[in-house]
Amino acid sequence: MVVNENVLDSLKQIGLNLYERKLWVALLSRGTSTAGELSSLAKVPHSRTYDVLESLADKGFVMTQNTKPLRYVAIKPTEAFDRAKKKIEKDSKVSVDRIARMQKSSVIKELDKLFKDGVSLVSPGEMNGSLKGRHMIHQQVGTVIRGAKKHISIMTTHNGVRELHNKHGEYLRKAAQRGVKIRIAAPHRKDTVDAMRNLKSFADVRKLDKPSGRMFLADNRHALMALTDDMSVHPTQDLGFWAQSEHVSGQTMGVMFDAMWNGLKSA
């Protein structure tokens, strides 16, 4: 079995683990085969082959023949991808519906109480964490925005202000409607004009001559800082640090932000 490594890497991106990738490609090269034959061809441990093939069948990549021994039939890749996509969409909807029901049930109150009691036992210095991947950074930013009560201060890059508008614009607007004061410092360029204009409708936005990084502060309590350049790293390799600390947010980074802010002009 000879296959381009790029093909195997691409299959990883759609959620197939190493054994699944190897066995499916091996089966495609045979059309139909037994688990033992595929194990030898794909160099996958025989003890794992049956459960991996069962997983592939569940995902829509293979069909099982009820014979002795069991045989497996390859599904045309375009059809397999279509089946896999439909299953993921169906499973995702089921999961989303379950979460939505749980959010409205008494379970969420019990879990919130458990969290509140647990946090009360934690010292402020322990409430911090690293964030890997831009998706994780945006998730944390969204959480902080939704919980902000008094003020939010943001410094970002030209790429960051577009993402801020696209991913968090509605959250920020709702925060402003409930009385949260929002300040945003970002570069003013041709590709940020629309984002800046829309953000200005509910926030105080000022021009930043040179992108100095990405910083997010809220309520003298939350501080989030990006540790990488969002234009030079892949989104999956973007790194950030979050801390829930009055000292960091209000007395350290907050003072730095205020000093910078006072020297900026309105966008």
Q: Are 148 and 176 in contact (CB under 8 A)?
A: no
First to last CA, the chain: 60
How far apart CA 69 and CA 63 sit, in angstroms, is 14
Give, for all 267 residues of the chain, the pLDDT tens digit: 556 778 888 888 888 999 999 999 999 999 999 999 999 999 999 999 999 999 999 999 999 988 888 899 998 999 999 999 998 899 899 999 988 988 888 888 887 777 677 655 555 555 578 999 999 999 999 999 999 999 999 999 989 999 999 999 999 999 999 999 999 999 888 888 899 999 999 999 999 887 779 999 999 989 999 999 998 899 999 999 998 888 888 888 999 899 899 988 887
Eight-class DSSP state of 201: T
The pLDDT of residue 1: 54
* Measured CA distances, 238 to 135, 138, 185, 216, 242 (Å): 9, 11, 21, 15, 13
The pLDDT of residue 33: 92
**In the chain, where do the E strands start and end?**
32-34, 62-65, 71-74, 128-132, 151-155, 181-186, 204-207, 215-218, 222-226, 239-244
What is the set of domains in the chain, with CATH numbers? 5-75 (1.10.10.10), 124-261 (3.30.870.10)
Q: Are 161 and 213 in contact (CB under 8 A)?
A: no
The pLDDT of residue 172: 97
The pLDDT of residue 215: 94
The pLDDT of residue 123: 57
